[in-house]
Structure 1
């Protein structure tokens, strides 16, 4: 898969060797510049058979039968040739699709089922700034929280040029609050690995708000217990062992009713096991981010590259799921890549791993940091999406399975 390739996307539903498997399907998608392939997925909370997939730039697909058949939406225009693609459900039955074009203008589309989308509204961001790397989440009431990186200028060789994390909120995707700066630790503008990036908000059921991001290979977090007053200093979580591969962090909060409600979960990929051994890591906090567990490796191979994790927590059961690329079948420096799904039913104490792709494919030489995997979970339905090579062309694949098909055990309560 090569990001300079101008090619045909394919959306394919992969059958799983378990109960509830689907018939394989492949849908030809629109030809588009592959400057920055990204894919995202969301599930309707009241009808988990209604799943929506979005790819960059400006392509949206939906299924009403749990992934057995897909159709493309025709009324979502592309706002630019490249940029971030984010898709989510608010928990009450509305889908939101966000596009960010190259200069950093984000548009928000809304739909009830992924078939018909309302005209886009613009999300206000800093004027005369470069705004990129958007992350979006929704709280239990359906309000939206959009975080992003703001560059004074980009690219810039000026050492004084700053990048920082900002956030804006909306109750309906149409009217947005005045953006607020969240980070205190400045990032650079002339080096992506020293920039503030990869931000994502996590909102607990009681409204406690958290935002995590990466600056200079250090994962930081800020929080607010009342939704308005944020800490005056960034909380340092951990530093990545980032050469040569790493990923931006994903922060989620457990909103399922039970003893782990309110726990914070974080995952990422880095090479702390060795320069040529990238792994997927997991930590959690049960005291609002004051303290975190030691990094725990999720993948269960002896040695090999794992990268680009996407994480989701089932809001009804609290089961944690992590999707990632895996090269355990490669020999030496080979690029034979598969897709694995890991899950934990005990709050992250133990993870189980299962290969969900049917055939290996040629992976990237330079591993992508973000956007090539996506994951959504609702009521035991798991929908995964990823970007891979298919016969020398970029392709988007999706696989849908269930908690029962994976053999997830009874949820632990202690």
Structure 2
């Protein structure tokens, strides 16, 4: 009887062990999204030939009405769709302060769409001292007209460039960060670049006085040692957080008092070979960071994500990386590679957004894995359903293209996500023609 009892206990232990293993595997198993249509229909939003070809696109889905999608491209092109991105209308945006590229399109949660851009008040660009003297933000309702625009108080004798916007759902605050150059392009060691911050509490009518966020200034060469690529966000606890690049590093700072004061800059990642990278066929390419926060009710609520590109695996193997923090930026994870190719290929010009309901994370990027040894370029979408621990990758472009460095190709693409809908936007080159495209991605 004793032997029988021992065997029963052994059997019970074995059953318990296998149950625990099964539970572990079930919890740790990657889960793929179920896309409604795996063809990922591509839509041409605009096209044109040099020197005024559209590029450097930005896109935003109206969170209050996902059928309404807005987009923009250089220099002053604005597009909108009333059917989720299947068809588009186009207009040229004007302002007394000029409209000169670096478009950033964002919606708030009151059906307002904002268009942030560079200034050109005298309409003479580089031949005018007033060129780049401020960052302008224009506003309208979807079917309305653009206002003249507003801008943060700043030193207008200096040059202001490479801005980005973030709008918080809970407070309605709009944050903006950008780079201030003493003299853009100057080689003088006396001229500096710095990261500036401003906020609007009244839907872009007025802005706070610009504040410098960094302690270590950069040069003015618009290169690796320039402080650039600043992106703001609001954390799940309501703190303001900002990331940027300089000298082969990713920097982070935080404000716990609504932007009145800021923590000392913190290096949160190394960016091997710097943010200005050489990509064959592209006249210039950057690996600027993107920052997003999980504000869902899921298990990763509060997690701060930062993505960036670098060449730590070789100058012929640019990759996209993700780090995250679960304690408001005090400590950070080790980098996770977003692209899952096994060869040596370039992934670049990434953008990132998050499903605010589920917390699912999406990253888009150009990708050259499909035709090794060539510059043939596709567009991929990576997604993570487990808090950025790993990523699935899918190709969303219908046709490869081979860029030539003779055209200005822009500095970035963009991505917008609302629950169930993903709208990427990118530039596609065909000879001397540039096209701005999106893909219809639903899940």
Q: Same fold (TM over 0.5)?
A: yes
Unaligned runs of 5+ in 1: 1-16, 405-414
Q: CA deviation at 1:372?
A: 3.1
Give the length in aligned residue pairs.
Answer: 386
Residue 204 of structure 1 corresponds to 235
Residue 106 of structure 1 corresponds to 135
User: How large is the RMSD of aligned CA atoms in angstroms?
Assistant: 2.6
Instruction: Give runs of aligned pairs for residues 8-407 of structure 1, distance below 5 A.
Output: 19=37, 25-26=43-44, 28=46, 33-34=51-52, 37-73=55-91, 76=94, 82-101=100-119, 103-104=131-132, 105-113=134-142, 116-140=145-169, 141-171=171-201, 172-190=203-221, 192-242=223-273, 244-245=277-278, 246-303=286-343, 304-332=345-373, 334-364=374-404, 371-402=411-442, 404=443
Residue 31 of structure 2 corresponds to none
SS at 2:224 equivalent: helix
Q: Which piece of structure 1 moves more, 314-323 or 30-39?
A: 30-39
Unaligned runs of 5+ in 2: 1-34, 120-124, 126-130, 279-285
Instruction: Give the TM-score normalised by structure 1.
Output: 0.86
1:202 to 1:367, Cα distance in 2 relative to 1, 3 A: farther
Instruction: Give the TM-score normalised by structure 2.
Output: 0.81
Residue 410 of structure 1 corresponds to none
SS at 1:336 equivalent: coil
Deviation track 1:352-387 (CA, whole Å, cap 9, x = no partner) reads 110000110013559999743110011221111001
1:264 to 1:170, Cα distance in 2 relative to 1, 3 A: same
Q: CA deviation at 1:216?
A: 1.3
Q: CA deviation at 1:125?
A: 2.5
Whole-Å separation in 2 of the counterparts to 1:363 and 1:58: 23
Q: CA deviation at 1:22?
A: 7.4
SS at 1:214 equivalent: strand
Higher helix proportion, which one? Answer: 2
1:136 to 1:368, Cα distance in 2 relative to 1, 3 A: farther
Q: Is the 8 A contact 1:36 1:83 kept in 2?
A: no
Q: CA deviation at 1:205?
A: 3.5
1:229 to 1:76, Cα distance in 2 relative to 1, 3 A: closer
1:163 to 1:257, Cα distance in 2 relative to 1, 3 A: same
1:198 to 1:22, Cα distance in 2 relative to 1, 3 A: closer
Deviation track 1:199-242 (CA, whole Å, cap 9, x = no partner) reads 01110243111111011121111101221353452111112112
1:393 to 1:368, Cα distance in 2 relative to 1, 3 A: closer
